[in-house]
Amino acid sequence: MSAVSSRLSRRAPADLTGSDADVLAEGYRRCRRLTWDYGTTYFWGAALLPRERRHHVYAVYALCRLADDIVDDQATIDGGDLTATRQSLEAFADTFRSALVERHSDDPVIAVVVHTVLTCGIELECFDRFFGAMAMDLTRSRYETWDDLCGYMEGSAAVIGEMMLPVLQPTSPLAAEPARALGLAFQLTNFLRDIDEDLDRGRAYVPQEDLRRFGVDLAVRRATPEFKRFLAFQIERNRALYAFADTGIALLPPRSARCVGAARVLYAQILDRIEAADYDVFATRARVPTWRKAVTAARIMVVGPPRLRRNHVAAHTS
Reported as a single tens digit per residue, the pLDDT across 42-79 is 999 999 999 999 999 999 999 999 999 999 886 666 66
pLDDT of residue 304: 82
Render pLDDT for 166-225 as a digit per residue (tens, 0 to 9).
999 999 999 999 999 999 999 999 999 999 999 999 999 999 999 999 999 999 999 999
- 29 pLDDT higher than 80: yes
pLDDT of residue 76: 67
- 16 pLDDT higher than 50: no
pLDDT of residue 173: 96
Residue 15 CB neighbour total at 10 angstroms = 14
What are the structural domain ranges in the chain? 12-139, 145-318
Q: Sorting pLDDT into bands at 50, 70 and 90, what band is 307? A: low
Distance CA 255, CA 259 (A): 6
Q: Sorting pLDDT into bands at 50, 70 and 90, what band is 270? A: very high
pLDDT of residue 181: 98
pLDDT of residue 202: 92
The reply to whether domains 12-139 and 145-318 share a CATH topology is: yes
Average pLDDT over residues 77-102: 90
Amino acid identity for residue 13 in this structure: P
Based on its alpha-carbon atoms, the radius of gyration of the chain, rounded to whole angstroms, reads 20
For domain 145-318, the CATH class is mainly alpha
**According to the 3-state scheme, what is the secondary structure of the chain?**
CCHHHHCCCCCCCCCCCCCCHHHHHHHHHHHHHHHHHHCHHHHHHHCCCCHHHHHHHHHHHHHHHHHHHHHCCHHHHHHCCCHHHHHHHHHHHHHHHHHHHHCCCCCHHHHHHHHHHHHHCCCCHHHHHHHHHHHHCCCCCCECCHHHHHHHHHHHHHHHHHHHHHHHCCCCHHHHHHHHHHHHHHHHHHHHHCHHHHHHCCCCCCEHHHHHHHCCCHHHCCCCHHHHHHHHHHHHHHHHHHHHHHCCHHHCCHHHHHHHHHHHHHHHHHHHHHHHCCCCCCCCCCCCCHHHHHHHHHHHHHHCCCCCCCHHHHHHHC
- 7 pLDDT higher than 70: no
For domain 12-139, the CATH class is mainly alpha
- 242 pLDDT higher than 60: yes
pTM (2 d.p.): 0.88
Average pLDDT over residues 89-111: 95
pLDDT of residue 15: 47
